[in-house]
Amino acid sequence: MAMATLARSVLVTGSNRGIGLELVRQLAASPQPPQHIFATCRDATGPRGKTLQELAARHPNIKLIQLDTVDLPSIRGAVQAVETHLEGQGLNLLINNAGVGSQATLQSVDAQEMLATFAVNVVGPLQVAKEFLPLLEKAAKDAGTEGLSCSRAAIINVSSKVGSIGLCLGVLEAPMYPYRASKAAQNMVTRCLAAELRDKGILCAAIHPGWVKTDMGTEQAPMTVERSMQGILEVLGILSQETCGAFLDWEGNHLPW
Ligand SMILES: NC(=O)c1ccc[n+]([C@@H]2O[C@H](COP(=O)([O-])OP(=O)(O)OC[C@H]3O[C@@H](n4cnc5c(N)ncnc54)[C@H](OP(=O)(O)O)[C@@H]3O)[C@@H](O)[C@H]2O)c1
């Protein structure tokens, strides 16, 4: 299925590897790519950003921007850089993808591991959303449409099924206290944002990518990052006021919170 333009401008956090990198790759390769793809990562100019630098060199619409999601001056610097590129336009779609895993069990978990995981998986997406809000509000206002969509203005938080309290999957096999608790908390952030920003024309939703082969997902994961991102981009394309505040997987199935 040929994809229509998802949004005029898209920003992805943690886009130097894994899911974020593949999202940027597929957005850039789509038949009608966004005018601006803000590919952000911690190490934009260094070795960790090398693959992304090479990709950006082949696609003039990819703008590589430094953004450490737990560093407020870095977030604010990214907002300024994005604003300059947008030349008076708003930002349509913010994808909070950056995240960290943690395998800590009840036996091995400590306060530092809990807090470090919460910093990246909960505080990061919230602060990034907060700082980019004026640009998202601008996009929502300028769209000249009524309904909610990713092409108008949206915040998508990449979540995980293992953070679902309703499902509470495989605790004994995969306790992962810091990771699970952080994704459950991130889900509440998504719900609160969805409720608060709906009337401003900004859609918010949580997406579970499936278990995917990345550094975090490991080689054991059953799904390739290519397949998962194809699904996610299709799902993003059909989000509307009905799915605002929803928790969906890469195939568009609803998950319990
Ligand atoms: N893979 C799966 O099976 C799976 C399943 C469910 C949900 N998810 C979620 O999907 C998202 C992406 O995961 P992934 O599998 O692609 O993981 P990954 O391969 O480990 O990549 C994580 C990305 O997040 C970035 N990151 C971490 N901390 C950051 C910070 N403070 N500021 C900016 N970027 C930061 C990393 O950048 P550096 O290179 O600088 O470290 C990297 O680009 C995460 O939110 C994860 O929880 C993944």
pLDDT for position 157: 98
- List the alpha helices (DSSP H) in the chain: 18-29, 50-58, 72-86, 111-118, 124-142, 177-197, 225-238
Residue whose CA lies nearest to ligand 1 atom number 17: 216
Residues 103-139 pLDDT 10s: 899 999 999 999 999 999 999 999 999 999 999 999 9
Mean pLDDT across 185-205: 98
- Residues in Cβ contact with 234 at an 8 Å cutoff, skipping those fewer than 6 apart: 1, 3, 252
Domain count, the chain: 1
Q: Is there a domain that residue 3 lies in?
A: no
Residue whose CA lies nearest to ligand 1 atom number 33: 68
Test site for ligand 1: of 40, 215, 216, 248, most ligand atoms within 8 A of the Cβ = 216
Which structural domain range is residue 204 located in? 9-249
The alpha carbon of 147 and the centre of ligand 1 are apart by a number of angstroms equal to 31
Q: Is there a domain that residue 48 lies in?
A: yes
Q: Is there a domain that residue 13 lies in?
A: yes
Residue whose CA lies nearest to ligand 1 atom number 26: 98
Average pLDDT, the chain: 97
The answer on pLDDT for 225 being more than 70 is: yes
Q: Is there a domain that residue 176 lies in?
A: yes
3-state SS class at 102: coil
Question: Domain of 194: which CATH number?
Answer: 3.40.50.720
Residue whose CA lies nearest to ligand 1 atom number 46: 99
Residues 166-186 pLDDT 10s: 999 999 999 999 999 999 999
Atom number of ligand 1 nearest to Cα 19: 16
Distance CA 93, CA 139 (A): 9
Q: Is there a domain that residue 91 lies in?
A: yes
Query: By the 8 A CB rule, do 27 and 233 touch?
Result: yes
Lowest pLDDT segment from 91-95, 148-152, 171-175, 177-181: 171-175
pLDDT for position 5: 87
Q: Is there a domain that residue 198 lies in?
A: yes
Mean pLDDT across 227-231: 98
The alpha carbon of 11 and the centre of ligand 1 are apart by a number of angstroms equal to 15
Q: Is there a domain that residue 136 lies in?
A: yes
The alpha carbon of 134 and the centre of ligand 1 are apart by a number of angstroms equal to 25
Distance CA 90, CA 137 (A): 7
**Token pair for 173:** 């096999």
The alpha carbon of 144 and the centre of ligand 1 are apart by a number of angstroms equal to 34
pLDDT interval class at 4 (50, 70, 90): confident
The alpha carbon of 21 and the centre of ligand 1 are apart by a number of angstroms equal to 10
Phi and psi, residue 21, nearest 5°: -65, -45
Q: Is there a domain that residue 223 lies in?
A: yes
CA geometry: angle 204, 34, 62, nearest 5 deg: 105
Closest by CA position to 64, among listed 105, 104, 133, 14: 14
